[in-house]
């Protein structure tokens, strides 16, 4: 029975190959590599988003406080990372830092900066932290004055207002915009393939180069990204229905 099923599956693959100008069999035979690439992509994207968000929250609060020292410094940081391409930032960290001898002789180089994975994670984290900082900064500034005045009237301190009133309100309003940042970060993670990492796009490029294909690897990578983005949008849609229900 197993042999019959396998034979039917092989016939189906050959039939698909005959009607489509794609090497489907090569894609299926190497699909385990694409699964590995999906793992690398999701690992880098999720970790950078989590760490970037944790960095962005205090920076957004400091940016909104109009502190004489912190606010301009954070503005410069966000301006630089939002004003330059992620590819350039990744190259500067991966290729550029090794040009400094004191860095190359330090433990940081041996433990972190000599690894392409760590360099990609650092670049992605700094990039998404900059975008998320400005996103949350705008949401904090858009907090209704009535909510802030009510918090002041009820005796909340500044940090009490931030923790209990302003940030929860800003997080809810930022959900739709942050979903776009998550998708942009996922798309931006293709930069990892340019520094030797085998993410989804990296595996697609490997497949094309290994078997002299034109677009099978890229089409497979595109379909996998499409599936991941579909899952992300569904998750954020459920989150919006839960936390933005009061707006409906």
Name the 3-class secondary structure at 16.
Answer: helix
Are 50 and 124 in contact, with CB atoms under 8 Å apart? Answer: no
At residue 61, what are phi and psi to the nearest 5 degrees?
-65, -45
- The structure's pTM equals 0.87
Mind listing the pLDDT tens digit for each residue in 199-239? 999 999 999 988 888 888 999 999 999 999 999 999 999 99
Residues with Cβ within 8 Å of residue 136, at least 6 apart in sequence: 56, 57, 60, 170, 171, 174
Pairwise CA distance, residues 217 & 198, whole Å? 13
At residue 42, what are phi and psi to the nearest 5 degrees?
-65, -35
Mean pLDDT of the region 85-114: 90
Question: Hey, how many other C-beta atoms are within 10 angstroms of the C-beta on 57?
Answer: 18
* Sign for the pseudo-dihedral over CA of 121, 175, 186, 32: positive
> What domains does the chain contain, in order, with CATH numbers?
33-247 (1.10.3720.10)
């Amino acid at each position: 029975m197993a042999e019959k099923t396998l034979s039917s599956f092989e016939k189906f693959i050959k039939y698909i190959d005959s009607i489509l100008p794609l090497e489907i069999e090569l894609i299926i035979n190497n699909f385990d590599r694409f699964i590995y690439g999906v793992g690398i992509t999701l690992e880098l994207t999720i970790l950078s988003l989590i760490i970037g968000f944790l960095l962005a929250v205090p920076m957004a609060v400091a940016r909104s406080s109009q502190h004489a020292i912190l606010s301009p410094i954070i503005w410069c940081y966000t301006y630089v990372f939002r004003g330059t391409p992620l590819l350039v930032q990744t190259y500067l960290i991966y290729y550029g830092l090794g040009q400094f001898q004191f860095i190359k002789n330090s433990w940081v180089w041996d433990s972190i900066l000599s690894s392409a994975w760590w360099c990609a994670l650092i670049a992605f984290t700094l990039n998404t932290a900059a975008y998320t900082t400005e996103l949350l900064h705008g949401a904090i500034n858009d907090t209704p004055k009535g909510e802030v005045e009510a918090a002041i009237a009820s005796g909340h301190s500044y940090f009490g207002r931030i923790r209990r009133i302003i940030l929860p309100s800003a997080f809810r309003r930022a959900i739709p915009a942050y979903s776009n940042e998550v998708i942009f970060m996922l798309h931006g993670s293709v930069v990892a393939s340019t520094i030797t990492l085998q993410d989804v796009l990296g595996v697609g490029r490997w497949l094309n180069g290994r078997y002299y294909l034109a677009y099978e690897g890229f089409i497979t990578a595109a379909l996998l990204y499409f599936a991941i983005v579909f899952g992300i949008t569904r998750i954020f849609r459920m989150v919006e229905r839960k936390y933005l229900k009061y707006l409906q």
